Amino acid sequence: MSKYTEDDLKKELETKEYEYGFYTDIEADKFPVGLNEDIVRAISKKKNEPEWMTEWRLEAFRVWESMTEPEWANVNYPKPDFQGISYYSAPKQKPQLESLDQVDPELLKTFEKLGISIDEQKRLSNVAVDIVMDSVSVATTFKKTLGEKGIIFCPISEAIQEHPELVKKYIGSVVPTTDNYYAALNSAVFSDGSFCYIPKGVKCPMELSTYFRINEGGTGQFERTLVVADKGSYVSYLEGCTAPARDENQLHAAVVELIALDDAEIKYSTVQNWFPGDKDGKGGVFNFVTKRGLCETNAKISWTQVETGSAVTWKYPSCILKGNNSVGEFYSIAVTNNFQQADTGTKMIHLGKNTKSTIISKGISAGKSQNSYRGLVHVGSRAENARNFSQCDSLLMGNECGAHTFPYIEAKNKTAQIEHEATTSKIGEDQLFYCNQRGIDTDKAIALIVNGFSKEVLNKLPMEFAVEAQKLLEISLEGSVG
Amino acid sequence: MLEINNLHAKIEDKDILKGINLNVKAGEVHAIMGPNGSGKSTLASVIAGREDYEVSEGNILLNNEDLEDLAPEERAHKGVFLSFQYPVEIPGVTVTNFIKTAINESRKANGHEELPAKEMLQKIREKAELLDIDRKFLSRSLNEGFSGGEKKRNEIFQMAMLEPKLSILDETDSGLDIDALKVVANGVNKLKSQDNAVVLITHYQRLLEYIVPDYVHVLHDGKIVKSGGKELALELEAKGYDWLK
């Protein structure tokens, strides 16, 4: 990736509106709006799924029907009309990906605008990309290289066909269909997503990457991601999101499940930039995501997220530290501006002995936004010598935004050591004047201060992602003071 | 270099500066002394362009250009530097990263390319040596956990890096022990030249033993009530400020 210069940033700052707010004109194959058992069956049929999968979806649907939308989060929004959404949308043209020529040129143009030209990716970077356009994966690269190591990285719909034994064994094993309202909904109607399996003892030679995009107006997006790292393996997985600007609210309810078997390690990094709504709080994506990982003995799962987008975010990437000596980490930067609302954090569930978890959460609020950290540290009765360290820092800009911290601690074992630190600070006039006096204008000064504040988390991201994340932070907060 | 004419400034309807006249030429060092509340720090802030203050009358010229409509960063780009009495902390931003950003922003504003990394490093090394600054210091977060002496030394380091035309040192001696004071004064002396000017704002004569001014002005109730040579500082030290009221 070429170096990102300050001039590039300046150019970007000139366009204050959401920069990825374009819309790709691809014919879509769309279901009628509404949700019932027939629709669930139709989705499953469309995907040519085996019966066990159809049944699994139907079971989830029945559970979902009996549930109500959760209200405990510190967010306010008009409840989506779940019967007013179309639950399936796929690009009509379904290219066989032997070469890029077979991909819809419109789609390629979109990728170019996003700066993720597959061609470039193939030649220049070491990143394999499984691109999700609307709901169906249309491009998978690097498959061969991965195949040689026995790594499976493909759309989950393909995995259901070709590796049913793996999918059947692990899907819903960390996030059961009954887990929560949105997870149940996702289980019933998920259209596609990614599947990744790293065999025993294999260290994945490249960062695996998925780009999600919501495209078709009024279509809910329900992605399902399943990553299984077999014993002693390692994988670093990147997930990045952009979405076109839209007036109506778009619902996004994804489920991500990670399984790290004995001695395995999974690093999962997200840069989330869904459309946050405009300056008056109109539009924007509702992002209700369930992300959870399971660690067996000596395993490690690291979640790193940079959340700058969405009108409403409800997201708690969590770790179940089931195996002895397992490690869970959560590093998060959540930025809210204008009328955005975020309720995000993590759950660290210590079940095994000598389990360790670290939580570093950086919340940045500007405009009239509300930014909440919500985290649970649970130490089970058998989790001897469990240790947790949590640090929650909030940075405020202006007088109209809010930062909230809701830490929950449940310790059922006396040997547990749990530390929680929290700070709240404000970008002050004094800091800005100091920077100004040194020749640094206010927008640049904010970027500098915010990057400094977020550094511990940015440092956890893979290089190419860190640059993108830094860019996003600066763009998201541009013009938010003064 | 700096010409201040009949400057009146107020904050929230409270008049602080009530007609300041000052003329500083290149190559000169001026000391502005005065009791607490006389308007010394306000003067420094107003020259630097702090927006909390309203200039109600008079003007400030830098090399014959009126500064009135210029934002603080634009004044900085033109060579105004203020060494703060209380430098702020910016967690997570290293001294090196901060100064690099500051230099490049000024260069860009003046139509120059960014300073290549190699030259930047060389310059940092050179100035750090000049001011006897440990290189480890440069990778610490700006002013975070710095002692009083370190903060002031860091201000002088930035002054050395930015090479301003006009440096205003606001109470640079406050909170320093004698050794730290000597280091800071020594740095300022090394940076003095025929092309730049220094305005020292201080309550005590102590600093002036190490940075010898060409002129001393006494500020009282928003006005300069007496000006003279360096001897005036000694007189003030002996008699206090009361005899000038």
Classify burial at A355, counting beta carbons within 10 Å of its beta carbon; exposed 0-12, middle 13-18, buried 19 or more. Answer: buried
- Going by pLDDT thresholds of 50, 70 and 90, the confidence category of residue A9 is very low
Which pLDDT does position A466 carry in this prediction? 80
pLDDT at A345: 95
What average pLDDT does this structure show over B164-186? 89
Q: Shortest Cα distance from A12 to chain B (angstroms)?
A: 17
Q: Which one is predicted more confidently, A94 or A105?
A: A105
Q: Alpha-carbon distance A137 to A153, whole Å?
A: 12
CB contact under 8 A, B88 and A430: yes
Confidence band of A199 (pLDDT split at 50, 70, 90): very high
Does the structure show a pLDDT above 70 at A102? Answer: no
Q: What percent of chain A clears pLDDT 90, i.e. is strictly above it?
A: 48
* A247 token code pair: 């007036």
Nearest CA in chain A to B140: A452
Which among B11, B93, B169 is the top mutation candidate for probing chain A, defined by the most A β-carbons within 10 Å of its own β-carbon? B93
**Residue of chain A whose alpha carbon sits nearest to that of B94:** A452
Yes or no, beta carbons of B90 and A437 under 8 Å apart: no
Report the percentage of chain A scoring pLDDT > 70.
Answer: 77
Shortest alpha-carbon distance between residue B2 and chain A (Å): 17
- On average, the pLDDT of chain B sits at 92
Whether B114 has its CB under 8 Å from any CB of chain A: the answer is: yes
pLDDT exceeds 70 at position A128: no
């789609």: which residue's tokens? A107
**A130 contacts A209 by C-beta, under 8 angstroms:** yes
Going by their DSSP bridges, the two strands B197-202 and A207-213 should be labelled as unpaired
Which residues on A lie below 8 Å from B105 (Cβ)?
A: 438-441, 444
Q: How far apart are CA B32 and CA B17, in angstroms?
A: 14
Q: How confident is the model at residue A103 (pLDDT cuts 50, 70, 90)?
A: low
Compute the nearest-CA separation of A11 from chain B (Å).
Answer: 14
Nearest chain A residue to B50, by CA = A433
Average pLDDT over residues A320-333: 97
Which residues of chain B make contact with A6, given a CB cutoff of 8 A?
104, 108, 114
Which residue among B87, B91, B114 sits closest to A434, beta carbon to beta carbon? Answer: B87
Q: HSE of B123 in the Cβ direction (CA atoms, 13 Å)?
A: 17
**What's the mean pLDDT when you consider all of chain A?**
81
Q: Tell me the C-alpha distance between A331 and A316, whole Å.
A: 11
**B146 shares contact with chain A (CB less than 8 Å):** no
CB distance B91–A452 less than 8 Å? Answer: yes
Question: Domain locations in chain A?
Answer: 6-477
Cα distance between residue A274 and residue A19, in whole Å: 11
pLDDT of res. A241: 57
Residue A215's pLDDT band (cuts 50, 70, 90): very low
Q: What is the pLDDT of residue B191?
A: 92
Contact A429 B101 (CB under 8 A): no
Q: What is the DSSP string of B16-80?
A: EEEEEEEEE-TT-EEEEE--TTSSHHHHHHHHHT-TTSEEEEEEEEETTEE-TT--HHHHHHTTE
Pairing of strands A387-396, A356-365: parallel
The residue of chain B nearest to residue A450, with distances taken between CA atoms, is B92
Contacts A–B by Cβ distance under 8 A: 77
Q: How does residue B93 score in pLDDT terms, banded at 50, 70 and 90?
A: very high
Residues B138-155 have a mean pLDDT of: 92
| Interface contact flag, A454 B98, Cβ < 8 Å | no
- Indicate whether A87 pLDDT > 50: yes
Contact (CB<8Å) B162/A438 = yes
CA R_g for chain A: 22
Whose structure tokens read 């990744």? A196
- Over the stretch A22-39, which tens digit does the pLDDT of each residue have? 444 444 566 777 888 888
The answer to whether the Cβ–Cβ distance between A453 and B91 falls below 8 Å is yes
| Residue B97: φ, ψ to 5° | -60, -40
Torsion of CA B198, B203, B207, B213, to 10 degrees: 40
Kindly report which listed range (A128-132, A348-352, A428-432) carries the lowest average pLDDT score.
Answer: A128-132
Domains of chain B: 2-244 (3.40.50.300)
H or E stretch covering B191: helix B178-191
Question: Average pLDDT for residues B128-138, to the nearest whole number?
Answer: 88
pLDDT over 50 (residue A243): no
Residue B179's pLDDT is what?
86
B158 and A428 in contact by Cβ < 8 A?
Answer: no
Q: Which of A221-235, A457-471, B60-74 has the lowest mean pLDDT?
A: A457-471
Q: What residues of A are in contact with residue B88 (Cβ under 8 Å)?
A: 428, 430-431, 434
- Region of residue A99 (left: phi > 0; alpha: psi -120 to 50; beta: else): beta
Mean pLDDT within A223-246:
82
Higher pLDDT pick, A6 / A421: A421
Return the DSSP state at B14. Answer: E
Is B92 part of the contact surface with chain A (CB cutoff 8 Å)?
A: yes
Note the pLDDT tens digit of each residue in A355-395. 999 999 999 998 899 999 999 999 999 999 999 999 999 99
Flag whether pLDDT at A136 surpasses 60.
Answer: no
Mean pLDDT of A259-273: 93
ipTM reported for the complex surpasses 0.90 = yes
- Residue B23 pLDDT greater than 90, yes or no: yes
